[in-house]
Structure 1
Amino acid sequence: MKSNSKTKKPPRFFFWRKILSLSDLDVPRNSKIAIDALRTLSLLPTFLGFLYNSKQALYVPLRDAGGAVILQSSQCALAGYWNWILTTSMMRRWIFHYEISSAIVRLITFIVITWSISAWVTSRNGPDQPIRTWIINCFILLITDIIRLLIVSDPKYHGKAANVKDPNLFLKLTVMKVLIFPMSVATCLSVFAVLRQIDQLQYTTSQLMVGNTALDNQLRHSGTTSVISVLVLIISSWTQTSYERRQMLRKSAIKLLLPHNSDRISVQYRFVIGQPPSAHHQLNGDNILKESSIYHDLLMVKSSDIQSDKSRKVFEALRWAKQMEHDYVVKSDDDVFVRWDTILRELSDLGRRSYYWKGFIYRNIPIHSMPDAKGLRIDYGLPVLPAYTHGMLYLFSKDMLDLIVYPNSPRKFVLGDGENIAIWLFGFNIQPTHDKRIQDGDDVCENDMIGKRMNATVYRI
């Protein structure tokens, strides 16, 4: 006769069900909260280190911060995990051999020791070496965990139900869960972050870029000193949107620019781009070369092409313009429609002027409201910004380039090139001329405007 009751089979993974997990402790309920709170304190150095490293990463350029945050976070997480497992394992052994009160005293002592070691390592490396600090902490915890596994890896510390016939298997599984797997995850994240950061540094850090300006970097000269020469620099980029803008300007505003070459004034222009912003752009650089061979109006300077480095790109373009010896230099953006016929006619009537600077002026702007690429507040030791011209369109005479480009020394860059020009010229007390016909607002449209920012809709028409 068959029994109706089904034979109860043991769970498939009976080994994992019979022993405590890596984070559990077999303690009375009235002591569990206090012990868990004390164990949590072992994570305090890791938590503080993560907050400090994340805060410091915000004070470096965006292109560098991403890799640094991933590197520091993975090392902090690995150190915190190993410290938590080490504290839990030691507590298991103390609970097995001592009373709860004695085990808690030992736990507090152990946490203080780990805090002291972490503080000592941090003080030896300093705040500017966070990655090295946490790698050393991880190494110390790794050695300690290995020693702990050799001493405290007996299955008897994992509860009375633990019935492991092969202690070596138990040790191997513990090593896999505690050491090898977490370290592999942290290593993979670190390698990914390093490779990504190296790639970004290579293509987005202007300080690492060498070489001269490329593409259409040669200009023809008028051959006579009676002709006023004007050089127009239009800041652009490698993006598809910028290409469409250049094409639109070639069909519109540039047609107002070129016919004004005469016996009184000579004008030339260049679209300014930076170095390839990524490996993808570099591999597909044939499009830029093809565009240059067709229009002969592209200038590639030794600067990053990302938006946050626009001021450096403008500076490198001005450094190149200084060698060309034009009487006036006009800077604009590729999303600005400019009445070049009006500007050139006025420059022709104006003639050559010394230390001439013109644009839409902003005055008495507090220095703390000037953001860089990440919204940081840059301290230049000034209560307010000096009078500066809006970056969408401004012009100055060639002698101003000597003051801007020289001396060739390290300088600070902020996102707005108009603000940068004003800061660099602050000590020379040269005041720009205000031109209200340059407007950046979408709701402003006057008949006498000479510069107007075009929104994205215009380029899709």
Structure 2
Amino acid sequence: MKALRRLSRHRTALGLGGLSLCAAVLLYLAKCTSEGLRPLPAAPALPHSQPGRGARAAPPAAPEGSALLAVVVMSGPKYSERRSIIRSTWMAAARQAPHGHVWSRFVVGTAGLGAEELRSLELEQSRHRDLLLLPELRDSYENLTAKVLATYVWLDAHLDFQFALKADDDTFVRLDVLVEELRAKEPRRLYWGFFSGRGRVKSGGKWKESAWLLCDYYLPYALGGGYVISADLVHYLRLSRDYLNLWQSEDVSLGVWLAPIDVKRVHDPRFDTEYKSRGCNNKYIVTHKQSIEDMLEKHQTLAKEGKLCKEEVKLRLSYMYDWGVPPSQCCQRKDGIP
């Protein structure tokens, strides 16, 4: 059965790979507003080999493991305390799930680290066996897109899974709810999260996109605090990795990479994954921008009261994505939405 599922994934991904990115971009540009459109500087030439695209080794004859859900948490060498609190809070649910349902790793780039930092990571790995170390990648925000792509390349080559959740190490996840809902979903062409289609292209700060030439808005994408994609899309990304442009923001990049693909985009306000949290709502599945104290409180409240929040708090309004209008008009914040 596993072999048939992996064969189906490969056939689907190969079909996806034949679609034209140019056609999708032209269709999107036709929907973009003309306001503010102006020529941008030419993109710098891509180097022959970019960090994080992965080695050319063939995948193993058999996967090293299997899971319904692969959870990959982007972390950094110095964030051991964040990893520790995640292990003892929401990630603990992975150990309680039925065998084979959840596989999880913290992803860390190790290129350029000193001997002491490497020893610390080796000790952590010997204790927990839950680090995915990328020795060819220097861990930095500038390399985050390459890091996420390298993670997907590794997953597709080493694990038999149906869905992948990408999260950050300041994200809190209701794994129990997520797994239960994924069991009822078809593991095919799924792109699930909290989408934005009206994001203005950043011209400054750490999100600055100096090589963006597609439109005056970002293409629709699921915000990077946490999103789920099906395994066939991960396989498509691995096959296409040498042709993918790497923009500054990994979530924006994924939105572009999947733009020409016939995927099922599912906008879900239960993913609180924007650049700052909308508050606490008992319906939330994924909550971004959480401190260590926030995670501990949510975990304790779940254990004692069976709900996420001691008290529900709304800090900003949410929205339902309107797929029937141009992306720049997609997202009107309203009351009454989680």
Pairwise same-fold verdict (TM > 0.5)? yes
Q: Which residue of 2 aligns with 1:332?
A: 167
1:289 is displaced (CA, Å) by 0.6
1:193 corresponds in structure 2 to none
Q: 1:284 to 1:290 in 2, by over 3 A?
A: same
Please show how residues 245-260 of structure 1 align to structure 2 within 5 Å: 245-260=82-97
Cα distance in 2 for partners of 1:412, 1:372 equals 20
- Say yes or no: does 1:412 pair with 2:245: yes
Other-structure match for 2:76: 237
**Alignment of 1:314 onto 2:148:** yes
Partner of 1:207: 51
The 3-state SS of whatever aligns with 1:304 is: coil
Structure ranking higher in strand proportion: 2
| SS of residue in 2 equivalent to 1:284 | helix
Deviation of 1:285 (Å): 1.1
Q: Among residues 350, 353, 369, which one is paired with 2:187 in the alignment?
A: 353
Equivalent pair of 2:89/2:295 in contact (CA under 8 Å):
no
Q: What is the letter of the counterpart of residue 81 of structure 2? A: E
Residues 135-178 of structure 1 show CA distances to partners (whole Å, capped at 9, x for unaligned) of xxxxxxxxxxxxxxxxxxxxxxxxxxxxxxxxxxxxxxxxxxxx
Note the C-alpha offset of 1:233.
Answer: 0.6
Q: Which runs of 5+ in 1 are unaligned?
A: 1-58, 61-204, 223-227
Q: Which has the larger radius of gyration?
A: 1
Percent of counterpart pairs with the same letter?
19
Distance in 1 (alpha carbons) for counterparts of 2:52 and 2:145: 16
1:200-228 deviations in Å (ceiling 9; x for gaps): xxxxx963998699xxxx97535xxxxx6
2:224 corresponds to 1:387: no
Q: Which amino acid aligns with 1:258?
A: R
Deviations 1:426-445 (A, max 9, x none): 22243410110111434521
> SS in structure 1 opposite 2:51?
helix
**1:365 aligned partner:** 199
Structure 1 contact 233–330 (Cα < 8 Å) conserved: yes
Q: Tell me if 1:375 matches 2:208.
A: yes
CA contact (8 A) 1:238 1:276 kept: no
Q: CA deviation at 1:283?
A: 4.1
The residue number in structure 1 matching 2:327 is none
Q: Tell me, in whole angstroms, the C-alpha distance in 2 between the residues paired with 1:377 and 1:332.
A: 25
Q: Specify whether residues 277 and 219 from structure 1 end up closer, same or farther in structure 2 by C-alpha distance, changes over 3 A only.
A: farther
SS at match of 2:279: coil
Does 2:263 align with 1:430?
Answer: yes
C-alpha deviation, 1:457, in angstroms: 6.0
The answer to whether 1:341 aligns with 2:180 is no
Closer/same/farther in 2, CA of residues 454 and 387 from structure 1, 3 Å limit: closer
**Alpha-carbon contact 2:149-2:241 (below 8 Å) kept:** no
Give the superposition deviation at 1:266. 2.0
Q: Which amino acid aligns with 2:109?
A: G
How far 1:303 moved relative to its partner?
A: 1.9
| 1:16 paired residue number | none
Contact persistence 2:54–2:150 (CA under 8 A): no
Q: 1:256 to 1:326 in 2, by over 3 A?
A: same
Structure 2 residue 65 is the aligned partner of structure 1 residue 221 = yes
Q: Which amino acid aligns with 1:268?
A: W
Equivalent-residue separation in structure 2 for 1:209 and 1:355 (angstroms) = 22
Q: Distance in 1 between matches of 2:235 and 2:165?
A: 15
- Unpaired stretches in structure 2, ≥5 consecutive residues: 1-42, 297-338
Conserved 8 A contact 1:404-1:421: no
Which amino acid counterpart does residue 87 of structure 2 have in structure 1? R
Query: CA, structure 1 residues 258+424, in 2 after alignment: closer, same or farther (shift >3 Å)?
Result: same
CA contact (8 A) 2:226 2:271 kept: yes
Alpha-carbon spacing, 1:206–1:334, altered in 2? closer, same or farther (3 Å): farther
Q: Deviations over 1:66-91 (max 9, x none)?
A: xxxxxxxxxxxxxxxxxxxxxxxxxx
Paired residue secondary structure (2:83) = helix
- In structure 2, the partner of 1:182 is none
| Structure with greater helix share of residues | 1
Aligned partner of residue 432 in structure 1, secondary structure = strand
Q: Cα gap change, 1:380/1:431 in structure 2, threshold over 3 Å: closer, same or farther?
A: farther
The Cα offsets for residues 22-64 of structure 1, whole Å up to 9 and x where unpaired, read as xxxxxxxxxxxxxxxxxxxxxxxxxxxxxxxxxxxxx99xxxx
Which residue of 1 is the match for residue 235 of structure 2? 402
Question: What secondary structure sits across from 2:225 in the alignment?
Answer: strand
Partner Cα separation in structure 2 for residue 341 and residue 401 of structure 1: 23
Q: Provide the rounded CA distance (Å) in 2 between the counterparts of 1:287 and 1:212.
A: 29
How large is the Cα RMSD of the aligned pairs?
3.1
Question: CA separation in 2, counterparts of 1:219 and 1:370?
Answer: 42
Structure 1 segments of 4 or more deviating over 6 A?
208-213
Match of 2:106 in 1: 271
Q: 1:247 to 1:299 in 2, by over 3 A?
A: same
